[in-house]
Amino acid sequence: MPEPVGAAMSVCRPSRMSGQPSRCGGVGAPKRAPNQLWTEGWNAASGLMGVPMVMPVSLRAGPMGVRSRSMRRSPKINRRKFMASTSTAALGAAARRLAGPAAEARAEAPPTAESRPPFSRDELLKPGPQRTFAGMQALQVAMPLGGIGAGCICLNGGGGLQDFSIRQRPQFTALALWSGSDAAFAVLRLPATSVTKVVEGQIPRERIYDQGMQGQGFNRAGHEGFPRFEEGVFRGEYPLGEVSLRDPQVPLAVTVTGWSPFIPLDDVSSGIPCAILEYELQNPTASGVDYEFSYHLSHLAPGCARQQKNSRNRVIPGRGVFFSNTEAANSDGLGSAALVVVGPRPVIKAMWLRSPNWEFDSLSALWKEVSTGAFTANEGWNETDTEGRNGGSILLRGRLEPGQSITYPIVIAWHFPNSYLRLQAGKVTKDDCGGAGCCAPPDTVSPPWRPFYVSRWKDAAEVAAHVADGYAALRARTTAFKEALFSSTLPPYVLDAVSANLAILKSPTVLRQENGNLWGWEGCLPDQGCCHGSCTHVWNYAQAFPHLFPHLERTLRAQELERSMDESGHVTFRSALPDGPVPHDFRAAADGQLGGIMKVYRDWQIGGDLDWLRRMYPLAKRSLDYAIRTWDPDGKGAISEPHHNTYDIEFWGPDGMCTSLYVGALSALAHMARAAGRPEDAPAYEDLARKAAAFMAESLFNGEYFHQQVQYVGLRDTSFTDSIAKVDDSSSEFSRLLKREGPKYQYGSGCLSDGVIGAWMARIYGIETPLDREKVKSTLGAIFRHNFRTDLSEHANAQRPGYAMGHEPGLLLCSWPRGGKPTLPFVYSDEVWTGIEYQVASHLISEGLADEGLTIVKALRSRYDGRVRNPWNEYECGSYYARAMASYALLAALSGFRYSAATQTLWFGPRIEPARFRTFFSAATG
């Protein structure tokens, strides 16, 4: 039966862990008037969860003057006022082969893992604080602090900084740099005892060999060998991370809090290129304690010249140090950085001792000054001391009486205005270096592109001043968001999953150009991005940007349909950087192209901008018409022609994954046609959607789940049949295998975790489709039964097992419970990807299978435990992998939240414990 999602839902209390609300008045126990919705409000000014409020379901609102047709009249409420106070609110047949003489592929042994959930319901729903990380559990911790599209620096488990990815490319500690890494560290000295410590925890023993460049023994940044605090405990509630430090030689309790502005809907403040560390010193003793606190930063913008000859330093009066260089105006080495303290006036050493000999010399001399109380000020650069490692420092002296505390906010800002990183946009010069270093000479053919923050601030000094002057407001608004999110009554591991992957927005995976447009990698390697171009079939899964920063998400729609699509409707699934046209010399990705059409619908619903929809509609129509001509040329509702997809291969013959996306895209376009003033277009797409849904139900459903019908005979694409036509006994073993089994890299009778992804997208976007919901739900149940393993130690994976392996749990991309696994199944089939785990989990929850969905999430996050993997870096093909932003869909799945700005309608339907349910949400205007 078609899923009815178009009507507004009068939300009420479902049974505990149930999937669907019954038809009554609201969420929770209290009685209310008809046509009202029970919510718990969030005060946008304070960020605190408010008392329960009763709000009318129908929102009659402001600038658009639109009232939901599905609701009765109610008193007028200005939606902007409502959202300001509650913007974050509570509330077939068996598999048939149409192929020719393909032999049966070998069967797969059934899974030995238990099919029942490994956690009890109480374990799944148990409330509690976020986990902490200490000792070995903090080994991999690294939380990104920075700006959206502006780069980041990571706060590690000991309270120090690492991974200075601030120059439009990643720079991770996994990459051994002979020249040394950037250094940033605080020092606390107690004059009474001369105890002097770096304000960080101990370097984990397990990292010493790696830190020593695997046998060379020398440092990365230079301060690793200084005395440190004995104990440290990390606690993260992104976008804030907190490290509590203790040491028997230090009578003060020290807490380091790292953060950077993260304010939903405010992309400018959330894009500031800065990292902020707050050092709180507290005296719990009965005696007064004198101290000297200092912070030290190596020159983050030294330029290209060896020995940092072009680097410059100067005092920022009363605040800190400004670092710059004298590189050419169009060099990608041009840049600046700043170190400032907010509040008190420090003693400023604008330049370290510069030695033309060993790099160690600067920090050796600096440590002697700091540890002996002989710290001296200077004004910075001079014409004599021009070679050797460079840096600057600030120092503050004070005394804490018993019970007193003080906090020093330290701001590190950066500004690198030029990048020659170009992808699919032509070469810079005949010997282009790809933007990986300082090598863009003045005679470049193409100008550099510039990051967005350049349009707001001219250098790092301006960035630092902006942060310092507006510090209180930026801190309050960021904390308000954090408190609202973590005040939700969702299980702690769900909030962990949702919040941790928001770090991707601040990671080097995301770039933003001066015109405001986003551009993304799939993920990051240690010193470069991995898989370029906001890849449509990967970013299909990402759900954080459209809800938290919808304006930025819409730039990706323009990227896909205005710059990456040709006149035929072919969308190149990897876009150019900087913005511009792309080659159309490779296959379109069916899942990316069809999903993109559904995302146009989603973004219109979130933003409610009818003019934007009218602009995008003809482009979306062209894209869909291309898909029909290319993959379903007979208009039967079957995507039979070979179609490229997110597994980097082509599926031959119709499959549940892409057919469900096809139904979703057809249905979305029909809805958009009517809204955009093209109602005459809608019937044809609706008819084809019904055909596709019927084909899927009748031909691809095996009684338990949707599968693939491998087909290579009778297609317009004859490349495979042509290739095997002359294969005989004298041919290679590989060729004979293909003739026997059919095209390589298919899944056939397998149970694919992405098997109904189109139904997931339709569900969370509010697209009414003719998909058979019971069969969709049956498929989801089968995916959990067959693909989720509590222990992978008996699972054979010749691909990339590092995502989940050994005794770890995980959801496999595919399994073959009925046999028929090909000799060469689709690439990555034996792997575990977090983005797909979240997709399946949130879909299970939405369909009433909350236990199963929560089990996947809890198991997934157990792998990112701080010891084996970084909890703030879910990786796939690279770190901070974009697909992992699917975790944001858990909020909508568990709350039933959806807001249509187009109809001014708000939906809620909690899936767990509605009597005490409270959740964060964000809409496009509040």
- How would you write 203-256 as a 3-class SS string? CCHHHHHHHCCCCCCCCCCCCCCCCECCEEEEEEECCEEEEEEEECCEEEEEEE
Within a domain: 185:
yes
Question: Which residue from 767, 805, 771 is spatially nearest to 789, judged by alpha carbons?
Answer: 805
More confident residue, 5 or 121: 121
| Claim to verify: residue 235 and residue 267 sit in the same structural domain | yes
Within a domain: 441:
no
Within a domain: 41:
yes
Position 103 pLDDT exceeds 70:
no
Q: Is the peptide bond before 239 cis (omega within 30 degrees of 0)?
A: yes
Supply the mean pLDDT for the chain: 87
Q: What is the pLDDT of residues 172-229, one digit of tens each?
A: 876 544 446 789 999 999 999 999 999 999 988 887 776 555 565 555 688 889 999 9
Q: What is the pLDDT of residues 288-324, one digit of tens each?
A: 999 999 999 999 999 887 668 899 999 999 999 999 9
Within a domain: 692:
yes
| Claim to verify: residue 264 and residue 313 sit in the same structural domain | yes
Within a domain: 331:
yes
| Claim to verify: residue 892 and residue 908 sit in the same structural domain | no
Q: What is the CATH number of the domain that holds 823?
A: 1.50.10.10
Q: How far apart are CA 245 and CA 17, in angstroms?
A: 40
| Claim to verify: residue 410 and residue 533 sit in the same structural domain | no
Within a domain: 620:
yes
Helices assigned H by DSSP within 608-725:
610-631, 656-675, 682-699, 719-724
Which of these ranges, 217-221, 330-334, 486-490, has the smallest mean pLDDT?
Answer: 217-221
| Claim to verify: residue 722 and residue 685 sit in the same structural domain | yes
Token duo for residue 773: 């919901």
Q: What is the CATH number of the domain that holds 315?
A: 2.70.98.40
Q: How far apart are CA 399 and CA 401, in angstroms?
A: 7
Question: Which residue from 919, 72, 888, 77 is spatially nearest to 908, judged by alpha carbons?
Answer: 919
Position 81 pLDDT exceeds 80:
no
Range of the structural domain that residue 237 is part of: 132-416+451-475
Task: Please state the three-class secondary structure of 93-138 as a single string.
Answer: CCCCCCCCCCCCCCCCCCCCCCCCCCCCHHHHHCCCCCCEEEHHHH
Contact assessment for residue 441 and residue 501, using Cβ atoms and an 8 Å cutoff: no
Q: Is the peptide bond before 654 cis (omega within 30 degrees of 0)?
A: no
Residue 683: phi, psi to the nearest 5? -55, -40
Within a domain: 303:
yes
Q: Please state the domain count of the chain.
A: 3
- Distance linking the first and last C-alpha atoms of the chain: 35
Token duo for residue 592: 């990316």
pTM for the structure as a whole: 0.88
Q: Is 151 buried (19+), middle (13-18) or exposed (0-12) by CB count in 10 A?
A: buried
| Claim to verify: residue 830 and residue 694 sit in the same structural domain | yes
| Claim to verify: residue 146 and residue 18 sit in the same structural domain | no
Position 760 pLDDT exceeds 70:
yes
Contact assessment for residue 542 and residue 883, using Cβ atoms and an 8 Å cutoff: yes
| Claim to verify: residue 410 and residue 467 sit in the same structural domain | yes
Within a domain: 245:
yes
- The mean per-residue pLDDT over the stretch 44-54 comes to 30
Q: What is the pLDDT of residues 701-729, one digit of tens each?
A: 999 999 999 999 999 999 999 999 999 99
Over pLDDT 70: what percentage of the chain? 83
Q: How far apart are CA 145 and CA 201, in angstroms?
A: 19
Position 644 pLDDT exceeds 90:
yes
In which band, very low, low, confident or very high, does the pLDDT at 445 lie, cut at 50, 70 and 90?
low
| Claim to verify: residue 906 and residue 890 sit in the same structural domain | no
In which band, very low, low, confident or very high, does the pLDDT at 75 lie, cut at 50, 70 and 90?
very low
Contact assessment for residue 35 and residue 10, using Cβ atoms and an 8 Å cutoff: yes
Position 401 pLDDT exceeds 60:
yes
| Claim to verify: residue 502 and residue 564 sit in the same structural domain | yes
| Claim to verify: residue 396 and residue 527 sit in the same structural domain | no
- Long-range own/partner contacts, residues 356-360 (CB < 8 A, 24 or more apart): 356/307, 356/387, 356/388, 357/388, 359/180, 359/222, 359/388, 359/389, 360/222
CB atoms within 10 A of CB 770: 20
Helices assigned H by DSSP within 725-849:
733-741, 757-765, 773-787, 834-846
Question: Which residue from 134, 141, 318 is spatially nearest to 229, judged by alpha carbons?
Answer: 134
Q: What is the pLDDT of residues 763-813, one digit of tens each?
A: 999 999 999 999 999 999 999 999 999 999 999 999 999 999 999 999 999
| Claim to verify: residue 758 and residue 743 sit in the same structural domain | yes
